[in-house]
Structure 1
């Protein structure tokens, strides 16, 4: 078992999986980006935030191998070259939000705009994605000059989050219920919950049409409502059962898992019915009054959200928790719409509606800046959710905001907001706290394992999850449907991240050149060996929750955990201990990793979540047939619309071409 000195302690009575911690969909979020209620920071948190706001320290340039392009001529995606941006460049770019009206935002921040001085250092015609590979560490520059305009937020009534769930008491849809804790929810309560989550309201069809962007698209025609209108007419003229024979019945069009000409993930094989769960009603006016917004809202909860987890089940928090948060906060809703619009365009291979996205996010940045300006103001759940969503969006679509702020800076911000908020989220039954800690914890782990210019991942995520899940209990050896691995495997990867962070930075000299003959210190070797010893029991006891899987249906998610475990073991040997790629221990771990990946069926959601293991296997194997198989899987995964898949594949191919470790060649790609 993982050493208890290095991880948070858990009550011995915890016996349930993290996914047994169900999420009632109409959660009282009690959070709003625009709501800044005074509260007291601890001295430690105040110091951290002040340091984060005021300290300016440039992160060194990314490493260059002896065969890499020269300094300042760094490739991105193998086709474009750029320099790393300075904090001043970032401030200038974000200043465009302050001086321009929303309709002019895209023109103001585009590389081809009439403001070339903002991007002069990157070369004419440079795409924004290539500019996003630099690392900016100064949050003072990150947010201080974004805008001086007031925060734009439509606040809704707020319920204190501690009123959500207590022992023997549940607050649901604004109504208090007394429950028998020993037996769970009452029969009537379960029926009502099932009704709210299963009954939907139909708003027409999403036919996959291109969004021509703000002021160019007929937004009120984005949704096809002809079927709904015809149905109303037919029901008034004939029997209620007359519509069942229609071939365009929305129930027959819900084909999110169907294939189209053999292509996986063919979400738009048929027009998609826009069915919104009843528990989200009443929807905010910004959705009901603008059909294209409603289309994007549905696309996120019905498609994007399912690609963000390795196993989509009824407790997927991107479907059951996040939507309830965003309909309560206009800024968070706008950020979800931007996320959805970016993903939908890439999935359909359409141009992103850049002006529309810029309009949506224009108020998000100043809201976060205001939250950080005064440490005596309350950082809400929605502030933290917005920061995490910005980070996630920057990873899956680096060019969305067309400003040179890298994902590393978004991660740094999200970590600071988490540290400021964690004490307020730490209470039993807090579903939002458990969700945000899992989401950011995942991104933090793989941010560290992807890039040496980040801090080691925090252990506090697991302590918070343990507290929030204490009512149901947390089974540390049950595979989590959200991450694709067990909490114990996650703790192993967290400890690994700490060692990798130290060793990766020792592998480069002061000029950023790769040191090929590096050897770990005796202390590092001792820590690595202790970690290996602690891992011995993990493989035999890993299991899945019977709540989410039948016995025959858990193969993919169990294989996912094994893949992360053996991928981590490979990184421990190769990046920490410096073991030869041809050694017996490395080859044994690689063989087990390849077996685990082979057990994950192509096209299953678990495959999308195994980017890190798949990339690891591709970089470590020297077998031509295995490399071809892995490359083919990558090319299919790229069709999901997640840009980090393409970045990882191209980095893997550079590793093959230049016969160097990928760590020596990386340009800040996110590998998770």
Structure 2
């Protein structure tokens, strides 16, 4: 019977439980006889349902067997028919080699959060993601660098649509200030045309090409000034081109704003600082002054720029540290300022020129008159013009005070000394060249300026007529397309203000036409209108025709005749 029990997979009907002793020896209190299994050597005891066995009862352990890799379910007895029924169990991985098809894991591994602050992510610390700064950074006394921008989920279709709609990234500007096609036209026009009509030097020595333009490529304020000047010149040519007008106004506003923002320039004008002004800032003042000449401004806008240049030069005279290390630019600045300053004093009695100061001297580096970009400054003629201006101021004061004669002996003595200096003056340019002829024209009109001042309200004499005739002779020798046309407005104006004979006037009018065709500056037509007004006064016998400075002032005009 014991043999059947051990080998049968199903217990006999008389047995319901199989008790396995936890010890290797049979209990002394049990009434059952022990049965020994040869293979395990463990005693087994069976008890009936009504037995009083005190040992703990356990469910028999069924070994998990596998057949072809498939686990066999565990069998438990049934309460109805006293048979063991299978119950669901959780499969366990068997020992040995891994299964060919392991169970699929449905739970995804949790990845590292990417919504923490940049500081915690760099330090590989957990971030509490508090805003605006996480508490972890505050606790550790470190700077919280913030959080990455919030990314919103978009479908593939939305991403493709956004790529198609987003414009490509713009390239940076090659040259600051040159932003549109019109700006590029302005820049080319400055280099090819405007720079050519601003100086007598049209070769490689043109300072507007060799000095100012390279500066403008590195300085936005100066570039805006250059484009403003070129735009004004094109507007004079094409007044109906709205694009030119609009871009010129834009560059003018930007150039003025850059000047106002420059701390050194503002402090220098206020006389409150020793800050050194950069060369491009000074050059911007020069170019904006020329812009008033080109656009024909009549309201004295040039004064701000001329006063700025004068303040800079005076500061340089007091402290050489403020002088530019670029000697070529420094010489250009002095020549430009002095030329326009003297020319301004010829037509405006309210503004005195620097040559009228007793202690004024040209700097030592201006010792080569033949290298000048203009005429009259470095060769000494403008010093003579400033002395004549002093005599004119005295004559005007005597007239207002009612003194007679208007030119007393003291003023006449000063005029004779000027006449001697003018006769001793020698041209530094080679004979037969256009610059030599232009210099002789300057000398001739300077003497006419002196003669008209000494005569004042007296009628003209034969010497004045002959001087005008000789001046026209020089003027005829200068071709209409020569670079000397850029400096002819001032001597042409003096000739016109002394042309009492009507036979001289057509030739002077033709010279105005040539000058207008060459440079196309806006101030030329206004200078011509003043000459026409003086001719009317001459024909009417007006005694005040010699005082054209007052005539211009009464007209309400204030502009540079350069």
- What is the TM-score with the length of structure 1 in the denominator? 0.50
Partner residue in 1 for 2:290: 392
Q: CA deviation at 1:652?
A: 0.5
Contact 1:480 1:486 in 2 (8 A): yes
- Do the aligned residues in 2 keep the contact of 1:564 with 1:613 (CA within 8 Å)? yes
For the 8 Å contact 1:557–1:606, the answer to whether it is kept is yes
The CA RMSD over aligned residues, in Å, is 3.2
Is contact 1:427-1:467 (8 Å) kept? no
What does 1:23-38 align with in structure 2 at a 5 Å threshold?
none
CA deviation string 1:413-450 (max 9, x = no partner): 33123222453465786111001111111110101111
Structure 1 residue 559: Cα displacement: 1.4
User: Alignment partner for residue 333 of structure 2, among 430, 433, 436?
Assistant: 436
1:357 aligns to 2:255 (yes or no): no
Residues 338 and 428 of structure 1: CA distance in aligned 2, closer, same or farther (over 3 Å): closer
Is residue 417 of structure 1 aligned with residue 309 of structure 2? no
* 1:105-157 deviation digits (Å, cap 9, x = unpaired): xxxxxxxxxxxxxxxxxxxxxxxxxxxxxxxxxxxxxxxxxxxxxxxxxxxxx
1:315 Cα offset (Å): 0.8
Aligned residues between the structures: 368
Superposed displacement of residue 339, structure 1: 0.5
Q: Is the 8 A contact 2:221 2:281 kept in 1?
A: no
Deviation of the 1:517 alpha carbon: 7.1
The answer as to 2:228 corresponding to 1:333 is no
Deviations 1:27-85 (A, max 9, x none): xxxxxxxxxxxxxxxxxxxxxxxxxxxxxxxxxxxxxxxxxxxxxxxxxxxxxxxxxxx
> CA, structure 1 residues 506+378, in 2 after alignment: closer, same or farther (shift >3 Å)?
farther
Partner of 2:533: 654
Aligned to 1:663: 549
| Cα separation, 2, equivalents of 1:397 and 1:297 | 17
- For the 8 Å contact 1:563–1:596, the answer to whether it is kept is yes
Q: Is 2:222–2:280's contact at 8 Å kept on the other side of the alignment?
A: yes
Alpha carbons of structure 1 residues 329 and 462: separation in structure 2 relative to 1, 3 Å: farther
8 Å CA contact 1:638, 1:645 repeated in 2: yes
Match of 1:293 among 176, 183, 192: 183
* Kept in 1: contact 2:345–2:351 (CA 8 A): yes
Correspondent of 1:642 among 514, 521, 526:
521
Summarize the Cα distance change of 1:520–1:557 in structure 2 as closer, same or farther, 3 Å threshold. Answer: same
Any gaps of 5 or more consecutive residues in structure 2? 1-172, 539-544
Out of 363, 387, 393, which is 1:495 matched to?
Answer: 387
CA distance in structure 2 between the aligned counterparts of 1:620 and 1:301, rounded to whole angstroms: 37
Partner residue of 2:418 out of 526, 531, 542: 531
Alpha-carbon distance in structure 2 between the residues aligned to 1:571 and 1:631: 20
The match for 1:544 is: 429
Residue of structure 1 in register with 2:437 after alignment? 559
Within a 5 Å distance, the mapping from 1:194-343 to structure 2 comes to: 284-287=175-178, 290-343=180-233
CA contact (8 A) 1:396 1:644 kept: yes
> Looking at both structures, which has the greater relative contact order when contacts are Cα pairs under 8 Å and sequence separation is at least 6?
1
Shift of 1:536: 1.7
> Highest CA radius of gyration, 1 or 2?
2
1:395–1:643: 8 Å Cα contact kept in structure 2? Answer: yes
Say if 1:325 and 1:382, in contact at 8 Å, map to a contact too.
yes
Distance 1:435 1:308 in 2: 12
Partner of 2:464: 586
**Is residue 440–residue 474 contact of structure 2 (8 Å, CA) maintained in 1?**
yes
How far has the Cα of 1:624 moved from its partner?
2.1
SS at match of 1:542: coil
